[in-house]
Amino acid sequence: MIANWSRAIALSAVFGIVCVAPPVVAAPKSAYDGAWTMFVVTTDGHCGTIKVGLAIAGGRISSTSGKFVFRKINLAGLISRSGQTRINAVAGPRQAKGTGRFTRARGSGKWAGTGPSGVCSGVWTAVRA
């Protein structure tokens, strides 16, 4: 009987928490939300030019496509309300960091990276897809 009473109290507590918990809220929309295409151009080193698909939602940047040396590019970053951005990218053992600025229609900035074959750096541009 005590075990049943304990279960009833526990279930009541769980029910109360579920009913009172605030709903999950989606990330607030930003002026930059949507699909973008980024072009990464090497100005120092031998990393070449790379095309990367981006998705921006609530000011969060993620990659949707793109490969470097046969490895998928995983890109993540944030855009402030003013458009300033910091971006990190990984493709296998290669890593890069970038900074820049977005407007409602374009983005641009600089990046630098390292990998097994050395150091590369350059510029990036982005346009709405």
Q: Which domains does the chain have, with CATH numbers?
A: 34-128 (2.40.128.120)
DSSP SS3 for 20: helix
pTM listed for this prediction? 0.77
Instruction: With cut-offs at 50, 70 and 90, classify the pLDDT of residue 111.
Output: very high
As given in the structure block, the two tokens for residue 21 are 């918990």
User: Are the beta carbons of 47 and 111 closer than 8 angstroms?
Assistant: no
Q: Which residue has the tokens 């982005």?
A: 126
- Give the whole-angstrom CA distance, residue 123 versus residue 129: 19
Q: Which residue has the tokens 């855009």?
A: 79
What average pLDDT score do residues 39-56 get? Answer: 95
7-28 pLDDT per residue, tens: 444 444 444 444 444 444 455 7
- Give the whole-angstrom CA distance, residue 98 versus residue 108: 10
